[in-house]
Structure formats: C-alpha cells, structure tokens
Amino acid sequence: MRLKLIEPLRELFKDEVRALGTLLDIPDDLVWRHPFPGPGIAIRVLGEVTREQVEIARRADHIYIEEIKKAGLYRQIAQAYAALLPVRSVGVMGDQRTYEQVIALRAVESKDFMTADWFPMPVETLKRISNRIINEVQGVNRVLYDVSSKPPSTIEFE
C-alpha cells in the first residue's frame, strides 16, 4: 500500500493555527491550549528520566496549569509549564531537614513563538502555586520562576 502524508497546516505558525481554529469554530479550550512538546512530558524532566521523575513533573505541571486557569491568566500566557531540574536543594519541612528536588516554572508571552518574554506572574498567584506544589508533590521542596526571554533562552528548557 502506497500512502502519502498530507500536512496542510505544517507551514503555519502557532498563532496562525489559532486564528484558523477560531475561524473554523473549533472550541476555545482546544484552540487556546498551550503547546505541548512532541516528545511528551519527559522532555521537562532535566536529568535521568524515570517513571517517578515524570510523575513529579506531571503533578507539578497539573497544579501549575490549574492555578493559572483559576486566576484567569491562562489565555494571557502563550505557554506555561513546570520542569523538574536535575538538582537537589536543602529545605526544612516540619522539624526535619530535607534534601529534595526543584521545580522550575516557566510562563511566556508571545505572538508568534519566534520571540517570547517571561510573563509577569502576580506574586499572590506564584505563592499559591509554590505552596501547593511543595505541599502536594512529594519529593519537591523548592519552586523557582524563570524570568528569561527568548532569545537568548528558548521557551522549553531542552
């Protein structure tokens, strides 16, 4: 069987795909969904990728996206995600010293994804997100917010 792959939207940029989706009356939650990396969430685990590490990144990302939606910020942000960094950090939980992992939060504003600026996340929203991740995601004791623009940084860490 000889098949030919046809990708009529392959040459469009993300902003153009969103405009087309809106024109075609595709539901907003699909049109405005943040881009997700082709290789999957494992790309957001910097360092050794294990089932446990992917689960930490997935749970932190879920909390992050849930909170920015609750705050009414989701549509203002072109892309947001949580990444698990390959470092451990000293912390204190209760009366115990901990040596746990670090989550980096990334949120950017962009029209075309060729350039992007970090999103000025409200401090109260960051506090809520950080507290939830630290309290609900076992193995994390520190949350950072990335304030790098593209260029020189890229939107994804890897």
83 contacts 57 by C-beta, under 8 angstroms: yes
Question: For the whole model, what pTM was predicted?
Answer: 0.86
pLDDT of residue 120: 98
Quick one: tokens of 123? 């401090």
Q: What is the pLDDT of residues 14-54, one digit of tens each?
A: 778 888 889 999 998 888 888 777 778 899 999 999 999 99
Which is it for the CA torsion 28, 33, 35, 39, positive or negative?
Answer: negative
- Spatial CB neighbours of 147, under 8 Å, sequence gap ≥ 6: 118
> Counting beta carbons within 10 angstroms of the beta carbon of residue 62, is it exposed (0 to 12), middle (13 to 18) or buried (19 or more)?
middle
CA distance 80 to 63: 12
Quick one: tokens of 37? 């990396």
Nearest Cα to Cα of residue 145 among 128, 124, 133, 130: 130
